[in-house]
Amino acid sequence: MAARRARPRPQASALVDDETDEEFWGSEYPPVARSLLTSAVACFAEKGFEATTTRDIGTGAGLSTAALYVHFPSKEEALFAIMRIGHQRALEALGPQAARDGADRDPVTAMADLVRGLVGWHARHHTVARVCQFELTALTPEHYRQIIAVRKGITDVFRFAVSRGVAAGVFDVDDVNRVVRAILSLGVDLVRWYRLDGADSPDKLAEVYAGLALRMLGVR
């Protein structure tokens, strides 16, 4: 299992609402639980998991301090729900290639689409993604293992796509794992600074980063 490293947290002043709403959580949870998860995301992103209280989460959802425990056994369970759903949504954003469908597609087009999906999702849902990246070490060991398994699935999708391009002779890569880490960092790193009211829309940023990724792969 990968080492559990703490990451620096962005200043609260940099936080701007993203496109995540209560529908993001799906039908698994009732409306009140979805409101609590949405509030928890905002609290964890601004204050960090440890500094956030159940009162903060309840107040953010317009509910009592004890409301969280009606739907989640603990604050950590709420964080795990955010992590689990957030990572699953990120995997889904990669499209059919997440299931390695369309393996006969042009590797260059396929890789560009993967990067657009990854970067676009992280930009649109940058607050959820920030929590997913910066609060991993707050999970219990078992929950951490489950989330790492999903993250490995995302990595494997990109590794497969890069390896396919190398085999086809369209990517010039010395170390597949190294370049996959670099490409994934394009999506992960933007959650530190991205703002929906900034210069680039999610779609624009996704397009630019897709081009950067292809250049990393030796495509000209």
Whether pLDDT at 215 is above 80:
yes
Encode the chain in three state secondary structure: CCCCCCCCCCCHHHCCCCCCCHHHHHHHCCHHHHHHHHHHHHHHHHHCCCCCCHHHHHHHCCCCCCHHHHHCCCHHHHHHHHHHHHHHHHHHCCHHHHHCCCCCCCHHHHHHHHHHHHHHHHHHCHHHHHHHHHCHHHCCHHHHHHHHHHHHHHHHHHHHHHHHHHHCCCCCCCCHHHHHHHHHHHHHHHHHCCCCCCCCCHHHHHHHHHHHHHHHCCCC
Indicate whether 15 belongs to any domain: no
Average pLDDT score over residue span 163-168:
95
Indicate whether 32 belongs to any domain: no
Whether pLDDT at 182 is above 50:
yes
Average pLDDT score over residue span 13-41:
81
Indicate whether 19 belongs to any domain: no
Number of structural domains (the chain) is 1
CATH of the domain at 146: 1.10.357.10
Per-residue model confidence as pLDDT tens digits over 42-93: 999 999 999 999 999 999 999 998 999 999 999 999 999 999 999 999 999 9
Indicate whether 81 belongs to any domain: yes
Indicate whether 106 belongs to any domain: yes
pLDDT at 13: 34
Per-residue model confidence as pLDDT tens digits over 82-107: 999 999 999 999 987 665 665 678 99
Indicate whether 175 belongs to any domain: yes
pTM, whole model, 2 decimals? 0.87
pLDDT at 7: 45
Indicate whether 57 belongs to any domain: no
Write out the residue range of the structural domain in which residue 194 sits.
74-216
Indicate whether 212 belongs to any domain: yes
